Amino acid sequence: MVTMAIAKQTLEDMLRRKILLILLIVAVGMIALGPSVGFLSPRESSAVLRSLGLAVILIAGLLITILAGIQVIPTEIERRTIYTVLSKPVQRFEFVLGKFLGGLFTVFVMITAMGIVFLGVLYFQEGHKFAPEMMKGVVMTFFQMMLLGAMAIFFSTFATPVVNFFMSFSIFIVGNMSSVTESLTSNKNPATKVLATFLHYLLPNFGNFNIQNKLIHPEVKLTNENVFITQNIVYSLIYSAVLLILAILVFDRREV
Amino acid sequence: MGSSTRNMLKGIIAVLFVVIIFTQTQLDPQIREIHKGEKTAFQGLSNEFILGPMLGLQEAVAGALWVRADEFFHEGDYDAILPIVRMVTWLDPHQLDVYITGAWHLAYNFTDSNERSDRRYIPASQKLLEEGDANNTRVYDIAFELGWQNNDKIKDFDRSEFWFRTASTRKGSSKGGEPTEPAPLHVRHMLAHSMEKQGRIEAANEVWRSLLAETEPKLKASPNDFSLKSLHDSERHNLNLNLERMFSRYTHRINFDVEGKTTRSVNQVTGEPSPNTSFLSLDPAKDGAPVGQPRPAATAIPWKASFDTVRNGHTTILFPQPRVMDIKGIFNMGDGSRVSVKLHDDNYKESSSQSFTFDIDQSQTIMMDSLSVRGAQWARKIDMSKDPKMYSFSRPAYYLVLSFDPRTTAPFIQDRIGWSGEGMSNPKYEWIVKSNHPELGKKDNKIIRKVYRITREQIMGTKPVSEADVIPNDLYDKIQAEQTSPSTSAAKPAGE
């Protein structure tokens, strides 16, 4: 109950932030303008439109998640409002979870808004037909952002926002190169192999969620798409849980 | 938080990590499946594009790059397109049009000042398409393009048949983009044409018949489908034309009536029905089979082909200026026939690279042209001096090959001499190209070919070309066989 109250307050606070709203407006505008780029490549216009739409949602979602995630806890400490909250019957773990859920709801609202505009643009551009399969891409982006948000919250329990920004962004990039680290796990050099195995299995693999290739090119074969999506959602949920437990453990010992 | 709670949470983390690693092992093979053929093309990408792939936006970056390539295309800057093609196909190996357009640029748009293709890029074009096909084995598009290029540009009809046949077994895209539909019918149209170009008319007719068997019921069901009607009409036309040409060839023509049920041969000279009247049934019940007695073909007295590059005892191949060839000849197969001219290094060999690369051996020289015959003569001044990058002439010796191939000539010329030159003779220069698949009904091909072995001094105009430079056809074949590139045998032969 307390957790949800904190989450609600965080969501309201986030939705009042102009920077996030500007990001949303710019992203929606770019998605709406997508068809003006697609026509330049007539026979691949659908692929260009779909890939650019998903890309805009991902980039905007990335910025919104990181900006939200790196600030929620440090801002409370900086403004000293955390004293007021923690002086009440609120456990520290409830505070961390509430902040995480508030940020997650914010990302959900933003991604949903962009997803609706994206599907609308596709509807008008592709002969008044819905492309429900593209929702899979939007859903995967949301769970990717959930994992990123959990990581940002974890870092925010001990790092400053600037440090947190670079750490989260760097790990997101490394995690996106999961196909590279995966291929390096069979490298002949033992040192490379060990390092790649460590990176591949212990760092969050954000590249797992990149299903755009399948959605943009229906001819790409994937044995069982639903299993793939479900496994990714499970991966995101479990990894986020691990990061949140770590965040709770660190924040519990932190002097505020 | 008590220490026991902390320890419990640490234990939970350990357990969850095991689950994470297990899930990752389940995901890895599926991720490999999705990203098959992709490469991390960070090297070579400009700064504005490099972040995208790092964020997992390979397809979006590929799309943006292709939009830029489109701009270059409209500006006529073809050179700038090719590196983009490489990047896009690395980032997103499922953009079929990128492979197809890139290969088209390589094969057709790199030319000398007189629009003669730079043949050195053709193996690269083929490799690019083969790479694209390997990355997109469910759809027909790139296999069809390989068939088209072999048919139209390379004139290797064995390989074109192989690729058209491959394409015909693949899927086409539904309106939703899913590869669930059969390959379009025009794929098999081209398969039949590639068989015709090999002189395998009966086999081609079988393809036309099978196509008609599919389109006729469909057309009855959708009589207002004009696209289908157009395909059906061309199938019927092509089958009828083949049948007509099979039975009227050489001395007779057919009083042909598409709507009638039979066709009748008439003597071209007298206009009377042939004594050995033959009929082709167009009655569907008889499946278009010939009835009556087909006449023997008029190859008993073949057309004597006058082909030469000598006039008044002098060779009519001159190099008035360095790298400028002024060539003339005679040929009496009729206006509209074409003589192929090929000049290449004595050691010319197609690139044998196993994978696609833009890098070609710039020191190689190969020039190909096709000269039309007018008034039983052919001539052209071929200026290779303006394009030293294409024609470096860095070797001491070259082969100049002048040839006529009945398989690639116009139908009205073919109708005089047969699909495989059966009705043509030239004891001096005729050369039989043995059938590589007689079991498939493929015949030997009788071509006319005259080969000169000339030197760099002759190309530079310091020494005349004479008949003493002519070498036997069998010697030329032997030399070429020794230099056959592995890349030319990459595709399986027809029928296998």
Residues sharing a CB contact under 8 Å with residue A16, sequence separation 6 or more, in sequence order: none
Rounded-to-integer distance, Cα B329 and Cα B373, Å: 9
C-alpha separations of B461 from A230, B63, B380, B393, B441 in Å? 75, 51, 17, 13, 47
- Check pLDDT > 70 for residue B488: no
A59·B17 Cβ contact <8 A: no
Question: Under a CB-based contact definition with an 8 Å cutoff, are residues A175 and A206 in contact?
Answer: yes
Q: A24: which 2 tokens? A: 């949303």
Residues of A in contact with B136 (CB under 8 A): 219
Lowest-confidence range among A189-193, B188-192, B472-476?
Answer: A189-193
Smallest CA–CA distance, residue B18 to chain A, in Å, is 10
B455 beta partners: B397
Rounded-to-integer distance, Cα B291 and Cα A194, Å: 77
Tell me, letter by letter, the H, E, C secondary structure of B117-135.
ECHHHHHHHHHHHHHHHHH
B15 touches chain A (CB under 8 A): no
Helices B58-75 & B47-54 angle (0-180, nearest 10): 150
Rounded-to-integer distance, Cα B349 and Cα B361, Å: 10
B287 touches chain A (CB under 8 A): no
Question: Under a CB-based contact definition with an 8 Å cutoff, are residues A99 and A73 in contact?
Answer: yes
Region of B442 on the Ramachandran plot (φ > 0 left; ψ -120 to 50 alpha; else beta): beta
B37 touches chain A (CB under 8 A): no
Rounded-to-integer distance, Cα B87 and Cα B347, Å: 33
**Strand B470-471, strand B445-455: pairing:** antiparallel
B13·A245 Cβ contact <8 A: yes
B33·A200 Cβ contact <8 A: no
A44·B66 Cβ contact <8 A: yes
Task: Give the pLDDT score at B252.
Answer: 41
Lowest-confidence range among B77-86, B163-172, B210-219, B261-270?
Answer: B261-270
Lowest-confidence range among A219-233, B47-61, B184-198, B313-327?
Answer: B47-61
Q: B403: which 2 tokens? A: 């040839």
What is the end-to-end Cα distance of chain B in Å, rounded?
A: 74
B59·A51 Cβ contact <8 A: yes
Q: What share of chain B has pLDDT > 70, as a percent?
A: 81
Q: How far is CA B273 from the centre of its chain?
A: 41
H/E stretch holding A20 reads: helix A18-32
Residues sharing a CB contact under 8 Å with residue A45, sequence separation 6 or more, in sequence order: A35, A38, A39
Choose, out of A48, A133, A233, A246, the residue to mutate when testing the contact with B (most B CBs < 10 Å).
Answer: A48
**Mean pLDDT to the nearest integer, B393-397:** 95
Task: Give the pLDDT score at B33.
Answer: 82
What is the end-to-end Cα distance of chain A in Å, rounded?
A: 23
Full pLDDT tens readout for chain A, 256 residues = 788 999 998 899 888 888 889 999 999 999 988 887 655 555 567 777 888 889 899 999 999 999 888 888 888 888 888 888 888 888 888 999 999 999 999 999 999 999 999 999 988 887 777 888 889 999 999 999 999 999 999 999 998 889 999 999 989 988 887 777 787 888 888 888 888 888 888 889 998 898 877 787 777 778 888 899 999 999 999 999 999 999 999 988 887 6
- Check pLDDT > 50 for residue B496: no
Count Cβ atoms within 10 A of the Cβ of residue A89 and give its class: 0-12 exposed, 13-18 middle, 19 or more buried: exposed
Smallest CA–CA distance, residue B92 to chain A, in Å, is 8
Q: B444: which 2 tokens? A: 């030997």
B257 touches chain A (CB under 8 A): no
Question: Under a CB-based contact definition with an 8 Å cutoff, are residues A54 and B92 in contact?
Answer: no
Rounded-to-integer distance, Cα B277 and Cα A14, Å: 92
- Supply angle C-alpha B226, B229, B231, rounded to 5: 115
- Check pLDDT > 60 for residue B491: no
Smallest CA–CA distance, residue A180 to chain B, in Å, is 8
Could you say which of B9, B55, B59 has the minimum Cβ distance to residue A213? B59
Task: Give the pLDDT score at B279.
Answer: 45
Tell me the pLDDT band of B31, cut-offs 50, 70 and 90. Answer: confident
B398 beta partners: B345, B454
Rounded-to-integer distance, Cα B325 and Cα B458, Å: 10
Q: Is the dihedral of CA B141, B143, B147, B152 positive or negative?
A: positive
**Strand B430-433, strand B445-455: pairing:** antiparallel
Smallest CA–CA distance, residue B190 to chain A, in Å, is 22
Q: Which residues of B121-140 are buried (b: 16+ CB within 10 A; e: fewer)?
A: bbbbbbbbbbbbbebbeebb
Rounded-to-integer distance, Cα B465 and Cα B453, Å: 9
Q: Which of residues 452-491 of B touch A (CB under 8 A)?
A: none
ipTM entry: 0.85
A208·B24 Cβ contact <8 A: yes
Could you say which of A201, A210, A241 has the minimum Cβ distance to residue B16? A241
Q: Which of residues 132-191 of B touch A (CB under 8 A)?
A: 136, 138-139, 171, 173, 176-179
Residues of A in contact with B71 (CB under 8 A): 40
Task: Give the pLDDT score at B49.
Answer: 57
Closest residue by Cα to residue B404 from B483, B308, B485:
B308
Tell me the pLDDT band of B175, cut-offs 50, 70 and 90. Answer: low
Rounded-to-integer distance, Cα B172 and Cα B183, Å: 4
- Reported as a single tens digit per residue, the pLDDT across B426-471 is 999 999 999 888 887 788 999 999 999 999 999 999 999 999 999 9
The better pLDDT of the pair A211, B1 is held by: A211
- Check pLDDT > 50 for residue B230: yes
- Check pLDDT > 90 for residue B221: yes
Tell me the pLDDT band of B47, cut-offs 50, 70 and 90. Answer: low
Q: Which of residues 316-375 of B touch A (CB under 8 A)?
A: none
Closest residue by Cα to residue A216 from B119, B293, B93:
B93
H/E stretch holding B35 reads: none
C-alpha separations of A88 from A80, A82, A101, A127, B3 in Å? 14, 10, 20, 57, 23
Rounded-to-integer distance, Cα A70 and Cα B321, Å: 75
Task: Give the pLDDT score at B258.
Answer: 37
B263 beta partners: B280
Q: Residue type for B376, please? A: A
CB contacts < 8 A (A, B): 166
Q: Which residues of B55-65 are buried (b: 16+ CB within 10 A; e: fewer)?
A: bbbbbbbbbbb
**Mean pLDDT to the nearest integer, B145-173:** 94
Q: Report helix, strand or coil for B198.
A: coil
Tell me the pLDDT band of B3, cut-offs 50, 70 and 90. Answer: confident
Task: Give the pLDDT score at A17.
Answer: 86
Rounded-to-integer distance, Cα B200 and Cα B444, Å: 11
Tell me the pLDDT band of B231, cut-offs 50, 70 and 90. Answer: very high
A33 touches chain B (CB under 8 A): no
Could you say which of A178, A213, A222 has the minimum Cβ distance to residue B94? A213
Give the Cβ contact number of residue B443 at 10 Å.
Answer: 19
Tell me the pLDDT band of B55, cut-offs 50, 70 and 90. Answer: low
Question: Under a CB-based contact definition with an 8 Å cutoff, are residues B309 and B370 in contact?
Answer: no
Q: Give the nearest chain A residue to B3 (CA atoms).
A: A249
Residues of A in contact with B16 (CB under 8 A): 238-239, 241-242, 245
Q: Give the nearest chain B residue to A63 (CA atoms).
A: B55
- Check pLDDT > 60 for residue B123: yes
B400 beta partners: B343, B452
**Mean pLDDT to the nearest integer, B113-135:** 92
Q: Average pLDDT of chain B?
A: 82
A249·B9 Cβ contact <8 A: yes
Smallest CA–CA distance, residue A114 to chain B, in Å, is 17
Counting every residue written for chain B, the total comes to 496
- Reported as a single tens digit per residue, the pLDDT across B65-120 is 777 777 777 777 777 788 888 888 888 888 888 899 889 988 998 888 889 999 99
Tell me the pLDDT band of B493, cut-offs 50, 70 and 90. Answer: very low
- Supply angle C-alpha A192, A197, A200, rounded to 5: 120
Break chain A into its structural domains and give their ranges: 2-253
H-type helices in chain A, by residue range?
2-15, 18-32, 34-38, 45-78, 81-86, 92-125, 134-156, 161-176, 178-184, 190-202, 212-216, 225-253
The DSSP output letter for B439 is G
Task: Give the pLDDT score at B261.
Answer: 37
Residues sharing a CB contact under 8 Å with residue B372, sequence separation 6 or more, in sequence order: B335, B336, B337, B338, B378
- How large is the C-alpha radius of gyration of chain B? 29
Q: Residue type for A215, please? A: L
Helices B226-248 & B185-196 angle (0-180, nearest 10): 10
Q: Give the nearest chain B residue to A244 (CA atoms).
A: B13
Task: Give the pLDDT score at B176.
Answer: 65
Question: Under a CB-based contact definition with an 8 Å cutoff, are residues A53 and A138 in contact?
Answer: no
Q: Give the nearest chain A residue to B2 (CA atoms).
A: A252
**Mean pLDDT to the nearest integer, B289-311:** 65
Q: Which of residues 170-199 of A touch B (CB under 8 A)?
A: 172-173, 176-180, 182
